[in-house]
Chain A
């Protein structure tokens, strides 16, 4: 009898350990961190051509074309972004730079070549639209995973792919969303779908990763869409000519290059 009890408690302990490790694998915060890093911090740096199509609720389309350079200064931490606009014509040659500071206010600068004007822009509102699209500044450079509380909701299937379903709620009240449900690919940790809800529980925005390719060994979302369900508009972003780990230098993300685009990377 004593032995039996001992065996039972031992096997319970083993079971508990298993359960714990299984639970650890499904730690929602760890998944969101990994997802954030694979989506926003791929490689040490990256260059891509971006084609944006903005469609309003009446189906009218507008295009934006730009080249984007990114440099990670710290994995999961500070990043620098550089954007060179090509289209439409009224913003052609304009450059835009962001020093992303995850635990503070980002620093943003714009350079308007037609009047040779360098101007810092107040960057208080990360939830404001990026170039009039349905993506916000935060969608472009990422909302840090530590700003939300994450709950693991289960493993599911999305278009035949197994996904983690994670619910995220901002730690501090945030006007961008009250709740977000993310569907994260269980193999490459890329977000395949994100549903944003307001505080009344109504879905306000919907993100979809439409096409994924492996570039330089790094799984990359090549086409993505953000739908604004409130406005009935959507924005599709297609990446092309992506290269990772090209050896971008911190010096590029300065006023000198804001005024003189690095033609080695931007033709």
Chain B
């Protein structure tokens, strides 16, 4: 650790020739749910005004970037808050090493809103209420090192403190709680009881609980190929602690690979991963998820000048399924028992009109095995270079109330967003 700090100090860039840029935006987002009887405190899924300031500074050998959000949020109770969305320095050591250190947004893998090997923190809550794409990812405090050589690029991301996904917490968006309704499980929110405020404990701040994500990437012909390894925890609290009676983040090792490239006048991607659930290696622990193998294939094509369409198919195969099924039948016979193989189909359509000043977009998730669906539709109008207006909707539905999207069935919403960008 000390060596690392010294290393950082040694390469502290000197800003001899430098440039400082300030930019940002002001944004108002209002959303309301269109479902009745949602057990949440408010009918407003969003009522926020946000000021984002971006600050960047370049030196000869390094650069700094900061992105700070201040916001007023009045959907539930009035509150002011702020968040450092990004705050990192970037620098190079020698010719082959790139470092990015600090609070940062991280992404890798090939899927479009399907993440197999991308185990960096997502903010599904922001996605569900219509915030901008940049809020889909939650920041992590991390150190990223990338090493480039003719054989490929090797990346290592070390996140000292586990950063979970951000999920609906029951205040504005309801969710499924398997313990509710006397253990039968139900869709809950804080209007039923404040105890349904969903805030599971994260792994303790110990070095052994830090996250390590690695990738080796290499171009092979027209394709970008990659291998991945992750050591940490499931980003969603899929586990349960029967003593503390709370959801927990199970330990995870993840091994994966991906391939993406231009073929058939479009872009094709393939990705796969083996989720090794370290606290349930034989699948016999009823409180922890079973290990699984997941695969994805996707293809995107520009079908007309301003019209792009893609489609994806994800498969997820649960290991030790018979054990899972027997446990479920025993503990919760009325509850939903998922299939051994989970299927998810998605499609995105983007149409740009009027010299790209109008953008119509639709994205649908549909799982034939879980019988649930999630659709995002939006229309954006760029009135000027500074001002844009967006309306959209998030629609969930499902046959069962415990599935990934089915649990949010009462959270359907529409939103309106206005943004003024400046620099």
B421 partner, pick from A89, A114, A123, A128, beta carbons under 8 A: A89
Assess whether A122 is in contact with B308, with CB atoms less than 8 Å apart: yes
Residue of B nearest to A136 (CB): B305
Assess whether A90 is in contact with B421, with CB atoms less than 8 Å apart: yes
A186 CA / B94 CA spacing, docked (Å): 49
Given the contacts A107-B222, A115-B107, A129 and B385 also touching, CB distance less than 8 Å = no
B385 partner, pick from A88, A114, A120, beta carbons under 8 A: A88
Assess whether A129 is in contact with B262, with CB atoms less than 8 Å apart: no
Binary interface profile of A, 239-267, with partner B (CB < 8 Å = 1, else 0)?
00000000000000001100010010001
Given the contacts A56-B355, A115-B107, A263-B63, A89 and B134 also touching, CB distance less than 8 Å = no
Given the contacts A116-B104, A123-B262, A124-B301, A267 and B384 also touching, CB distance less than 8 Å = no
Assess whether B356 is in contact with A89, with CB atoms less than 8 Å apart: no
Q: With an 8 A cutoff between CB atoms, is B35 at the interface?
A: no
Assess whether A89 is in contact with B267, with CB atoms less than 8 Å apart: no
Q: With an 8 A cutoff between CB atoms, is A25 at the interface?
A: no
Residue of A nearest to B107 (CB): A116
Assess whether B422 is in contact with A89, with CB atoms less than 8 Å apart: yes
Q: Which of A110-136 contact B (CB under 8 A)?
A: 112, 114-118, 120-125, 127-129, 131-133
Given the contacts A116-B105, A124-B301, A256-B98, A87 and B423 also touching, CB distance less than 8 Å = yes
Assess whether B266 is in contact with A122, with CB atoms less than 8 Å apart: yes
A125 partner, pick from B19, B302, B355, beta carbons under 8 A: B302
B357 partner, pick from A121, A123, A132, beta carbons under 8 A: A132
Within the complex, the shortest CB–CB distance from A77 to chain B, in Å, comes to 18
Q: How many residues of B contact A (CB 8 A)?
A: 52
Binary interface profile of A, 91-125, with partner B (CB < 8 Å = 1, else 0)?
01100000000000101000010111110111111
Contacts of A105 in B (CB 8 A): 262, 265
A256 partner, pick from B104, B146, B355, B382, beta carbons under 8 A: B146
A63 CA / B382 CA spacing, docked (Å): 12
Residue of B nearest to A89 (CB): B421
Q: With an 8 A cutoff between CB atoms, is B25 at the interface?
A: yes
Number of A-B contacts (CB under 8 A): 105
A60 CA / B385 CA spacing, docked (Å): 11
Q: Which of A8-64 contact B (CB under 8 A)?
A: 54, 56, 60, 62-63
A233 CA / B355 CA spacing, docked (Å): 9
Assess whether B105 is in contact with A115, with CB atoms less than 8 Å apart: yes
Assess whether A117 is in contact with B107, with CB atoms less than 8 Å apart: yes
A12 CA / B386 CA spacing, docked (Å): 71
Q: With an 8 A cutoff between CB atoms, is B260 at the interface?
A: yes
Assess whether B355 is in contact with A89, with CB atoms less than 8 Å apart: no
Assess whether A115 is in contact with B136, with CB atoms less than 8 Å apart: yes
Assess whether A107 is in contact with B148, with CB atoms less than 8 Å apart: no
Assess whether A128 is in contact with B302, with CB atoms less than 8 Å apart: yes
Q: Which of B372-423 contact A (CB under 8 A)?
A: 382, 384-386, 388, 419, 421-423
Contacts of B134 in A (CB 8 A): 114-115
Within the complex, the shortest CB–CB distance from B415 to chain A, in Å, comes to 18
Binary interface profile of A, 207-248, with partner B (CB < 8 Å = 1, else 0)?
000000000000000000000000101000000000000000
A127 partner, pick from B24, B305, B356, B421, beta carbons under 8 A: B305
Given the contacts A114-B105, A122-B301, A107 and B262 also touching, CB distance less than 8 Å = yes
Assess whether B423 is in contact with A92, with CB atoms less than 8 Å apart: yes
Within the complex, the shortest CB–CB distance from A141 to chain B, in Å, comes to 16
Assess whether A129 is in contact with B105, with CB atoms less than 8 Å apart: no
Q: With an 8 A cutoff between CB atoms, is B175 at the interface?
A: no
Assess whether A122 is in contact with B262, with CB atoms less than 8 Å apart: yes
Known pairs A89-B421, A131-B356 / 13 extra A-B pairs, C-beta < 8 Å: A62-B357, A87-B423, A90-B25, A114-B133, A120-B224, A122-B262, A122-B300, A127-B305, A129-B355, A255-B153, A255-B217, A255-B224, A256-B146
- The 9 listed contacts between A and B (C-beta, < 8 Å) are A89-B423, A120-B262, A122-B266, A122-B308, A132-B356, A255-B224, A256-B153, A260-B92, A267-B19
